[in-house]
A = this chain, B = another copy of it.
């Protein structure tokens, strides 16, 4: 676990420099990157699959998939013809988040010039990824309705500096004691003004709003953070 690694100010500064270098690589390649964060099983990979299906070639996609172990997620995207590199953090001592250094290394295996939109799927964890800039242009949190209404209040840090908050699996709402209105409220309590999109990769509901949001992100002048 990460507690055994001593990271001083030098290493944090190095991390920031690596993140800035990634943003430069993305800008030069004309590619926009989204850092997608969530609890385990909130549906990050399913969202990417459905996004690819519905976007129908509108953008050239690529992905970096973070997990502690297995390359299951990258294989799911390969089946759709999306270039994807799996980063397994067990190679880094079982890290609980991606870091800019890991992403930089993964990008060496991807042709960024052949991509308009890069999804960086973080390790499933609602705490640790909050503190790490991966060189992305936009940070997005995916929160499943099955996690309940109060998770934003319990995990506030990951909702800071967000470009958008996605509420996933809304097809399950009829079977849960969860109010979508209350969940939107708790998101906005910790991330005032953030764009909140409720969707289901299963039913497709809300995917149009997500694709429209991506459209605006890709069309924006490049290089900064949303």
Contacts and interface: CB of A to CB of B under 8 A. Distances in A.
Interface of A: 1-8, 12, 39-41, 67-70, 72, 94, 96, 123-128, 130-131, 144, 146-148, 150-151, 153-157, 169, 171-172, 175-177, 202
Contact of A150 (B3, B72, B151, B175): B72
Contacts of A1: 2, 127-128, 130-131
Max chain B CB contacts within 10 Å: which of A67, A175, A177?
A175
B154 A40 contact: yes
Nearest to A177: B202
A100 B147 CA distance: 27
Contacts of A6: 6, 8
A172 B176 CA distance: 9
Contacts of A202: 177
Given A157-B94, A172-B146, A127 B41 contact: no
Per DSSP, chain A at the interface is loop
A177 B171 CA distance: 12
A3 B72 contact: no
A156 B69 contact: yes
Given A128-B128, A144-B146, A146-B146, 15 more contacts: A3-B5, A4-B7, A40-B151, A41-B144, A41-B147, A41-B151, A69-B155, A94-B127, A94-B157, A96-B96, A123-B127, A124-B155, A146-B169, A146-B172, A177-B202
B41 A146 contact: yes
23 contacts: A2-B2, A2-B128, A6-B8, A40-B151, A41-B144, A41-B151, A67-B154, A68-B154, A68-B155, A68-B156, A69-B155, A72-B154, A96-B125, A96-B127, A123-B127, A125-B125, A125-B127, A125-B128, A146-B146, A146-B169, A172-B172, A172-B175, A177-B202
